[in-house]
Amino acid sequence: MTQASPPTRPAPSGWVILDKPVGLGSTQAVAAVKRNLREAGYGKKVKVGHGGTLDPLASGILPVALGEATKLTGRMLDASKTYEFTVRFGEETDTLDLEGAVIATSDVRPTRGQVEQALPQFTGPIEQIPPAYSALKIDGQRAYDLARAGEEVALKARRVTVFALSLEHFDETEGATLLAKVSKGTYIRSLARDIAQALGSCGTVTMLRRTQAGPFDLSHAISLDKLNETGKGAPLEQILLPLEAGLDDIPAIDLDPEQARAVRQGRVLTGSPHEDGLYWARQGNVPVALVELSGGDVRVVRGFNLTDVAE
């Protein structure tokens, strides 16, 4: 007699914050989360998405959203991020990192003082040209596909913001290790290229690590080994952050049962005393919706189907 399969567990909602290792792509990391969920008995229908691609050669914070938290991945993509990166001077590759072929060299090796003096001009709103090897589209095709095919890639400069930029370590041989907090759309490889050029040299990124993405930093992150423990029977709760952890950067408003019912139905609440802006609405400890307040009116931006979930 065939033994019945154990029942599928209720689909979880929340965040798994991976400390992605070098060599693993973002898509592969998401696949690893899905695999462990299946092995842990959550079935194949759990929605999973990530909040910002990391190149295989980069490591660090990769927010992975489960269930209802996938409704917030767009916010995560728009959030500011912090990177630690090393620029080695004297060579520039076509990919601006160690994966590419050398296309330019320079005998100029900037000093620590020269690097420090150059950083203020790259702080604040700046214009930068994205790397040819990027996921941006040109006439419907990815720039990196065109570049790999040997075609000339001409991307337009775009305005981004570098909120903070500091020199963390300097070595005459290995180069400068910098820490940058940046707005969405900022390419660290382009920033490294431009800093090197401003110093009369050329450079390439030899190390790139994301240390913060939106409200998440390395204190929230787990290793792949820790993730894999879930597939072997460890409780998901030991690695899963609640959905509202992705909303720590905005204030919450509390709803009574009648208000929560109205918001779940998509109705507008009137007469709110709160200031205009973005909030997350909750009933008790359960997130109800991401809402926008304007002139005392509360309108739903994204609703969360968590009424039966005990948070």
Active site residue 55: yes
Closest of 120, 118, 138, 139 to residue 130, by C-alpha: 138
Task: Kindly report the number of other CB atoms within 10 A of residue 123's CB atom.
Answer: 15
CA dihedral 282, 287, 293, 297 (to 10 degrees): -60
Q: CB–CB of 15/246 below 8 Å?
A: yes
What are the counts of helices (DSSP H) followed by strands (DSSP E) for the chain? Answer: 7, 17
Q: Which among 55, 94, 97, 194 is annotated as catalytic?
A: 55
Task: Kindly report the number of other CB atoms within 10 A of residue 87's CB atom.
Answer: 27
DSSP states along 73-136: HHHHHHS-EEEEEEEEETEEETTSBTTS-EEEE-S----HHHHHHHGGGGSEEEEEPPPSSSS-
Q: Which residues are catalytic?
A: 55
